[in-house]
Structure formats: C-alpha cells, structure tokens
Structure 1
Amino acid sequence: MSGEYTVSREDWSLHRKGEIDRERHREKVREAIKKNLADVVSEESIILSDGRKIVKVPIRSLEEYHFRFDTGKRKHIGQGQGDTKEGDVLGREQKKSTAPGKGAGEEPGMDYYEAEITIDELAQLIFEDLGLPNLQPKKKPELASEAFEFKDIRKKGISTNIDRKRTILEAIKRNARQGQPRFGKITREDLRYKTWDITYKYESNAVILAMMDTSGSMGPYEKYIARSFFFWMTRFLRTKYQNVQIVFLAHHVEAKETTEEEFFTKGASGGTRCSSVYQLALETIAKRYNPEDYNIYAFHFSDGDNLTSDNEKCLKLINELLQVCNLVGYGEIEGPYYFTSTLRVVYRKIVNPKFTSVGIKSKSDVYPALKTFFNPHPENAAK
C-alpha cells in the first residue's frame, strides 16, 4: 500500500487571530492616549487613583465597536408583519430641537471609550520625551546602582555559570586534535565558566524644590491644577532618576517644609506672600544642598495673586535662586478672578535662560507645562 502525503497550506496566523486583534486594539488605544495626553494627564480618576495600579482613561477619539444605523439617509431592507400596503407611513424622522437650552434636548452627545491602562504604562507615554534640563556632573556623584557583568571565562567555577557554547567548542577542538573532528563526550578539561565583575553606576546628585501656594486665593480648581503638575513631576523623577531628592515647600503668608502627604492633601487659608517660600528655598539650599555637589531645580505654582508690596522682593529672591539653580520654573494658574497685575507680569523683567514661566488656563495645559519645565534640551525649545 502506497503512502499518501498531504501538504498543509493552512495559515496558522488564523489560530492567533484573537490575540492579534487584541494586540492591534491595544496599540490603537496607546496611539489614541498619546494623541490625548494633554487631557489624560489632568484626569481626576488618575490624580485621585490613591495608589491603584490600573486606571480608566476616557478617550474621545476612540469608540467602542458597535453597529451604526444611518436612518433616513440610505435605502434599507427590513422585516415586518407582512400586512402593510403601498402608501402606508411606517415612521417619521424626528425633527431636531431648534430651541437650545430648553427642555432635555434632542441633540446626540459625543460618546467616548474608557480604556483600562496601568499607571506605569501611562507614565511611560507621558515621560517619553521628558528629562532634567541642564543636568551637570558634580563633585560628589552618588552611587545609583550596582550591576554584575560577565567579562571573563575560566576553567573553574560554579555549575550555574557554565558557558555551554564555549564548553562544546572546547570539546570539538580537543576531538579535532585527536583526529576525530566531531562533538563527543565532554571531559572535565572542556568545561568553561563565566565569571563576573561588579560595575557601579554613578548619577549626578539632584534636588527638586517643589513650592506651592496654599493661600485662600487658591481655590479648589487652582490647587487641583498645581497638585496635578506635582503628581506627575514626582512620578517622573522617581521613574527616570534613582538619585533625585524632592523637598516639598508650601506657603501662604509664611512658608514651611511639609511631608509629601501633607503637600498633596492639606490646604490653608489667609493671605499670600510668595517671597516667604523663595526665602525658605534659599535657606534650605544653603543648609543642605551645596550647588557644587547638587543639581538644583526650583518649581513654584501659584495663582499670582500676591501682595503688591512683596513683588519686588520676590523678583530679587528669584534672581538669587537663579545663581544657585540649574533651572527655576514658575507656573501661574489663571482662575476666574484673573488680574493682569500678577507675579507673572512682574517676572517678565527677568532675562535669564535658566528661568521659565508658563500660564495655565485649563486642565489641558498641565502636560505642556511638564514638557516646558522638563525639556532636556531647552536650547532647542524655540526651534
């Protein structure tokens, strides 16, 4: 009986169709999130996630799969009871509401897709182009991490570090010298082991002074915007850099150093004297962070509603900070009671490449502020 052979031309990728579709969908979600980062960064469900690893992100440019019916625009076929006759009215298209603001309204809303994503994945997208600007090597770089690198091969070692490839080659060479060029039995003389050296990675020291206005003029909206920025700033620094310290300073008329938890949860009231936080920042640098040993960055967020008599002192102290800092950033949140005579107007007198200020009018401006302050190549910002 002659044997029969069948050549299969089956496309095995069809067996992975579900997995391929899921990966394609995940990629589309990532692309959509990247396009909507300005809105996603300030999303309350993320800022208030309270340590959750997975969050839901609304994406308005991506819709869930569903059937769409184009009523009244094209011809359709359907199925009924069979007792209709020519001329019967089956239905009428509803008229759109012409009186906006009255009643519940008839206009369709904009649906959006809620995608689940881990905080780490989202952070990777947000931090992709961010970095500490003007980072310089300092006198006392601190050890960031230790690594083990296999750099040598030896005849003795532990069994877990055996180098199989080199061991086989040694066996083949030994057999070839004996006139039998083939792979055979491995002897003790053939064994080769990897050995490692410990390497050290050093990073330049850096300290970030996070300064936030907590006075009575900073309402819930203003405080939320400031905390959104510092939320992502803190996560960014701890994700990308192992050797960065963050000092949290809060102020109203007086300034004080707080814990991270107090900085993000506690508010205050009273008037505003921004010079108090700049003075505290300078004192903190003088006591704990020598500019010869540390890269120093200072970021201040306020609504700009400062005591007029204090503005010139703020200008003087900012110039003193610029002498010891790699970068000083000022973010002004423009609330409903925005006045033109704010700190940002005063700071227009500063002509120094190490000073950067931004205005924030809406939640979507938080991400551009992050990109402005943490541009690793500030010299190319205007290009």
Structure 2
Amino acid sequence: MSVQRNDWSLQRKGQIDQERHKERVRESIKKNLGSIVSNESIILSDGKRVVKVPIRSLDEYKFRFDYRKKKQVGTGDGNSKVGDVIAREGQTGQGPGRGPGAGDQPGQEYFEAEVDIDEIAKLIFEDLHLPYLEEKSKQAVQSKTTKFTEIRRSGILANLDKRRSILENLKRTARETGDARIGRFKKEDLRYKTWDEQIKYESNAVVLAMMDVSSSMGEFKKYIARSFYFWMVRFLKTKYDHVQIVFISHHTEAKEVTEEQFFTQGESGGTVVSSAYRLALDVIAERYPARDWNIYPFHFSDGDNYYSDNDEAVRLADDLISTCNLFGYGEIGEEGASSYRRSSGALLSIFKDRLKNQERFVGVRIDDKEDVYPALKEFFGKRGERA
C-alpha cells in the first residue's frame, strides 16, 4: 500500500496563523487576568464590552543578515574559569529603551487585540465552582457542559474531524481504484463532529452577597467590593442556571436590596457588621432551609466595625458557618497598603484568631485592584468536591 504524502500545512497557512494568533491572545489574557478583572471600563459598564489586550507582534521565523557585520564566533579562548564575567548588559543609552534613560535600539512591537468580555470570562471562570456543593432534597440548579457526541456528513469547517475524513477518503479510494491511498478529497469524504449541551442537575444553591456601605468605604474600597461582586454574579449566571442571589447592604442597619441598588448605592453612616449577619440568618431561616439549599454568604467590608459589636459579629459569623456550605469574608485595605493593621476594628484578624478552626471559613485581604482575581480563586477554588 502506498500513501501519498502532502504537506497540508502549506495549504492551511492562514488557518495556522489564525490559531497561533488566538493562542497568543489567550496567553496574554492569562498573564494579565489580575488587571483585566479589575478593569474599570468593564466594572462600570453593562458587561457588554470588548477589552483591549496588549499582544506582542507575531513575527515569522526567517534568516536575516547581521547588518553590523560582526563576527559570530561561539568558542572561548580556553582560559575561562567558573565565575568569570563573559558579557555585560548594555550601558544606559544603549539598547531598546529598557529602564531609565533613552535607548538607541528598536523595542518589541505590541498591538492591542480587541477581545470580547465573554471570552475573558471563560478563562476567568474555567477553574471556579461552588465549593462543598452537596446533594439536597431538591434538585434545581442546572450546570451546562458541552460534549462532542456524534459524527455527521455536514457541518462547519471548524468542526471537521480530520482523522475520520482521511479514513473515509482511504476507503473510497480503495473501492474505486483498488489501491488504499489518500486521494483527492471529495465532499462525501468529509466528516464533522457535532456536540450537545448536556444539562447536569445539581442541588439548590443560594448566594448571599453582603456589602458594607458605611462612610468609611471610600471610592477605592467601594470599587473593589463591586469589582468582586460583578465577576461573582457573572460567574454564577454563566456557569449555573437558577442559582439565587440575595443582595444585602449595611451600615449600622442592614437591608435587602435589588441588584441595581447594590451596585449603585452610595456610602454613609457607621458600621455594625452584625446587622448584616443577623439579616442573612433571618433570610436563610425564612426562605432557604439548609436541608434543601446549599448556602454561600459572602461579605466585603473595610473591617472598621464598631468596637462593641465585634463579639456579636463573631458569634453570628459562627452561626453562619455552621448553617452554610462556605462563608467568605473579604477585607479591603487602603489602596497600596500592604501592611496589615491590627486594631479593635480589623475584623479579619479577629475572625482568623477566633474562627481559625473553622474549615469552611475563608478570609482574604485586598489592598490592590489586582488582588480581586486571587480573591475569586480563593473563594471559588477547588475544594470539597464530591467523589
């Protein structure tokens, strides 16, 4: 049997370049997820936007002459020993403008690729899920997965099954010529993969989003909290159907609000964290019994709680933990403040001290916009998966 060898890559040059471009875009997005997640133009929009991501130029590999005509010798003089300096980086004023001072060499070319926010969301959410999801008496939450399940004679080129198409070509050529070899492809040889969206039913789940809107929550802190909840809501609506979300805002008093109010309400008043936890427990008792629901309360604050309320806040937080699948608390510091302050109002330090044996309590500290993405991964990371 003779097999005709064709270099198909030469015929698919455009498609190969397109795939390389897509892969470079994906790599760049992954490297910049921290800054993309906290991108102000996304958070303050309606979520229907494209994002510009810097991508390095995709030069083709090629030979080129050394325009400086330097000798390119790869051998030493035989007198070198371990520790000898064999080269130094160019002095200031030489090279492609890296660091202080002006350079005299061209830099790397970058361009901005426009990427749909849904594509970015897929990369952000691919490793996120609701932790400790348990089977309950009611099965209502749907999660979608896509699976290739069938081979057909028609379809789009992107779903072409190359292996099966080659086999069909070999079989047809063998029937027609008696020689099993790869011949000219015809439409009847082509096979395409098709997929189905498979719906998996999970147990009921409700997420309680609590946010401090007191006067100490300035623009930066408010922006961080809304950034986290923006992506959390999008994650839940993208990956799960029918997950319910309850929005609670609080200062000295807590109240249940709409999603729009939650993301637009201004700040005022003092801070009594226990008011939010008490309302959350009341909502759970009235509408979401633990026997039927997986429950996930999350709370964001700057930690400056009224000092006499700390004990009550810890007690109610402990009640939430015993009732819920996971309780997440995010504390927002001053912008760029990496040092953690311990004071009577710094709730995170109190929680970590008095709730340290609670496996289902997760506390994070956010001091910078790029900390939002790690917080998402910390709260919705891989833990407590069912066997």
Structure 2 counterparts to residues 241-280 of structure 1, below 5 A: 241-280=240-279
Q: Which runs of 5+ in 1 are unaligned?
A: 1-7, 68-72, 78-93, 97-104, 147-198
Judge which range, 207-216 or 17-26, deviates more. 17-26
Which residue is 1:156 aligned to?
A: none
Q: Distance in 2 between matches of 1:271 and 1:55?
A: 37
Judge which range, 214-223 or 106-115, deviates more. 106-115
Structure 2 counterparts to residues 1-383 of structure 1, below 5 A: 11=7, 13-57=9-53, 59=54, 62-64=55-57, 75=68, 107=102, 113-142=111-140, 144=142, 202-335=201-334, 339-341=341-343, 342-348=346-352, 349-350=354-355, 351-377=357-383
Which residue is 2:157 aligned to?
A: none
Q: Distance in 2 between matches of 1:145 and 1:300?
A: 25
Q: By how many angstroms is 1:44 displaced?
A: 1.6
Which residue is 1:183 aligned to?
A: none
Question: Residues 187-209 of structure 1: CA distance to partner in whole angstroms, max 9, x if unpaired?
Answer: xxxxxxxxxxxx98532000000
Q: Distance in 1 between matches of 2:117 and 2:286?
A: 36
Q: Distance in 1 between matches of 2:320 and 2:135?
A: 19
Q: Distance in 1 between matches of 2:45 and 2:341?
A: 33
Q: By how many angstroms is 1:220 displaced?
A: 0.9
Rate the CA distance shift 1:339–1:200 in 2: closer, same or farther, 3 A.
Answer: closer
Amino acid corresponding to residue 268 of structure 1 in structure 2? E
Question: Residues 232-274 of structure 1: CA distance to partner in whole angstroms, max 9, x if unpaired?
Answer: 1111111111131000111111111111111112222121111
Rate the CA distance shift 1:252–1:35 in 2: closer, same or farther, 3 A.
Answer: same
Amino acid corresponding to residue 356 of structure 1 in structure 2? V
Q: Number of paired residues? A: 291
Instruction: Give TM-score scaled by structure 2 length.
Output: 0.68
Q: Distance in 2 between matches of 1:12 and 1:202?
A: 43
Instruction: Give TM-score scaled by structure 1 length.
Output: 0.68
Q: By how many angstroms is 1:213 displaced?
A: 0.8
Q: Which runs of 5+ in 2 are unaligned?
A: 61-65, 71-90, 94-99, 145-197
Q: By how many angstroms is 1:34 displaced?
A: 1.4
Amino acid corresponding to residue 344 of structure 1 in structure 2? L
CA contact (8 A) 1:209 1:298 kept: yes
Q: Distance in 2 between matches of 1:20 and 1:110?
A: 23
CA contact (8 A) 1:253 1:270 kept: yes
Structure with the greater alpha carbon radius of gyration: 1
Q: By how many angstroms is 1:211 displaced?
A: 0.5
CA contact (8 A) 2:253 2:276 kept: yes
